[in-house]
Amino acid sequence: MVISAPPARCTPAPGSSAPLGATPGDGGVNFSLYAKDATLVELCLFDRPDDDEPAVVVQLEGEQHRTSHYWHAWLPGLQPGQVYGYRVHGPQDPSRGLRFDPSLLLIDPYGLALAMPSDSAGAMKSVVVDPDGYDWEGDQPLRRPARETVIYELHVRGFTADPSSGVAAPKAGTYAGLIDKIPYLQELGITAVELLPVFQFDVHDAPAGLPNYWGYQPISFFVPHHGYSTRCDPLGPLDEFRDLVKALHRAGIEVILDVVFNHTAEGNETGRTFSYRGIANADYYLLDQDPSRYADYTGCGNTLNANNPVVRRLIRHSLRYWVEHMHVDGFRFDLASVLARDETGQPSPLPPILWDIDTDPVLAGIKLIAEAWDAAGLYQVGRFVGDNWQEWNGRFRDDVRRFLKGDGGMVPQVSQRLIGSPDIYGYEHRRAETSVNFITCHDGFTLADLVSFNAKHNEANGEANRDGSSDNASWNCGVEGLTQDPDVLALRQRQMRNFFTLLLLADGTPMLGMGDEVCRSQQGNNNAYCQDAPISWFDWSLVERHGDLRRFVQQLIAFRSRRDVVLEGQELLLEDLLLRNQVTWHGVVPGQPDWSDASRSFAVTITSSCHRYRRHLMANAWWEPLDFGLPPADAGSQPWRHWIDTAQPSPGDVVGWGDGPPVVGDHCEVAPRSIRVLVVELPA
């Protein structure tokens, strides 16, 4: 599709207030913009993306081009590819929350493509798109059940930017580059990728002259990020993102987007204006008691007014667009608790936007995952509103970390995490997969750093190591950072296997962080949001160097495909799963669990819901070996068989299901800081 120049003479017809945005039709394009308090809107048409001045300016004024708060026009002769923007006139009165500035060219909040300036001083411009102008070749969202899902969180650029990826320029670090690495994800057993933000974001907002690498500064809620495309034309990112989705779907892998609907890149009152601030500032943002300032529940300078009807519609239309026209399979909502705040900033018991999303028929069956907290202290894990939401279970991360670190008093908590966190989700008939279990994510230590550093080391970020959390529940295994000590290195490997064992055997939906399966390190940086550099990229030389750990992870992921919940082909409520799985807790003595603060160990026997097999897990977070007594394997003569022993080097750390040697006797020693799992097939 080529950029079309506007006709020399462009006489607008009244057009329609619906739909919002720029909609191509038979012989022209309809434009519609919501701008409540504006006094005049100018639609600017450009011949070329880099032009500083418009070729045509269409003034939208009078009743024929304004209906209530909507400004609209039909322009005959225009086609998809037309470059445009708005200049919006009105009061510049921050004390009333009004920040109109007609000297600024603004992008369309509903625009589907952007023309990027050749230099940072230029203005972005919107581009007319026909959203149906792509051949999906029959592709549709996969709708994989949550019970079959294993999520892999990754950064589009970071996955293939490193030269070790073997992906050559211009594909390295792009949507197209990620396509080349789909076989790796398949081999690992991943069923869904969760992509860090791919909405067009501001790359120039980090301090100390560093880039915004993670992408949590959205400019548009509809446009795929240009920096991840091999093409420079405005429509390239759309086609290449859709190529990626189609390729992942062909491989049986779903696409979940990390979406940011809690703030925008416009920042606080000193920030740059791209769109919303200059169009309807008081509608789009939560304002402080002093309307010249912004309420900030996000830590990013502003907060979207998500429960304002105008913003609710924008969010809902964005989600529908990414499902209907980009075929994504789900969304993870960054700082989702912000969406529960009303227009005064207070938590609402029935937030309209969350119920809009939860009940939208277009989004039915789409994965909805909430990061159920925000930067101002609203923590809603286990209490997030809605019937269909899953939640990032931050308590799973924290409790498992502290248990394996050796902290006291964690046995009761970690036991709950292993069986789907019924203390959190065992109410209102929640699904067993409501809990998205994770140990690490983009925000914080990688798994290798979690077992290698006691403290964060973020000096490279240029903020004097003040940024990033200081509460990591990490343990360096005796030496801070790099070491050649073989005992320390062996202990770190054991701890990583321990983490993966609890993560991948726990009920719920597991999520892995990019590269954790091959010991990717950020050298102790737990907030690498501004590090577009090898420290954040996937080092592909690690795949061979740490193939033993990757094999361990593959084997555990493969086990999840044979769980009875999957084999029965049905969704079970958490309460029903626990009843059918027959969970029995033990300590070192069968049938006598030790829930005391001094305890650092537990054992659990779980009989699968269809009575096909039974597994017995013994976890020892103590620094000395423990001798566990064993319950009978079954009522007959079948013995327990070894399956997992995290204290053993590969290939003894995990063997094929049912291939392990039988256990002799009624006791089993578990090495210090290790986990053993025994299994038995049950008679039909």
- As given in the structure block, the two tokens for residue 381 are 């894990």
Cα–Cα dist 574/467, whole Å: 38
Q: List % helix, strand, coil for the chain (3-state, nearest 5).
A: 25, 20, 55
- The correct CATH number of 155-540 out of 3.40.605.10, 3.20.20.80, 3.40.50.720, 3.20.19.10 is 3.20.20.80
What pLDDT score was predicted for residue 565?
Answer: 44
The pTM for the full model equals 0.96
User: Which residue in the list 371, 517, 539, 653 is annotated as catalytic?
Assistant: 371
The answer to whether residues 152 and 255 touch, using CB atoms and an 8 Å cutoff, is no
Check if 334 is active-site: yes
- The CA distances from residue 65 to 10, 41, 61, 313, in Å, are 15, 10, 6, 22
Cα–Cα dist 229/251, whole Å: 21
Angle at 579 between CA 573 and CA 585, to 5 degrees: 120
Check if 371 is active-site: yes
Cα–Cα dist 585/587, whole Å: 7
- CATH 2.60.40.10 residue ranges of the chain are 21-127
Which strand (E) or helix (H) includes residue 586?
strand 583-586
What pLDDT score was predicted for residue 4?
Answer: 46
What pLDDT score was predicted for residue 427?
Answer: 77
Cα–Cα dist 491/483, whole Å: 12
Cα–Cα dist 89/43, whole Å: 11
- CATH 3.20.20.80 residue ranges of the chain are 155-540
- As given in the structure block, the two tokens for residue 60 are 């939208």
Q: How do strand 330-333 and strand 367-370 relate by DSSP bridges?
A: parallel
Helices within 268-426 (DSSP H only) = 277-284, 309-324, 352-359, 394-405, 411-418, 422-425
21-127: CATH superfamily: Immunoglobulins (2.60.40.10)
Helices within 189-276 (DSSP H only) = 236-250
β partners of residue 285: 304
**Which residues does the chain have with pLDDT short of 70?**
1-10, 428, 563-571, 635
Radius of gyration of the chain measured on its C-alpha atoms: 27
Class at the top of the CATH hierarchy for domain 566-681: mainly beta
Hey, is 107 helix, strand or coil? coil
User: Which residue in the list 194, 334, 391, 539 is annotated as catalytic?
Assistant: 334
Question: In 10 A of CB 533, how many CB atoms?
Answer: 15
Cα–Cα dist 238/426, whole Å: 41
- CATH 2.60.40.1180 residue ranges of the chain are 566-681
Cα–Cα dist 463/442, whole Å: 19
Cα–Cα dist 624/437, whole Å: 28
| Tokens 């030389």 belong to residue | 541
Cα–Cα dist 388/306, whole Å: 19
What pLDDT score was predicted for residue 1?
Answer: 32
- The DSSP output letter for 529 is T
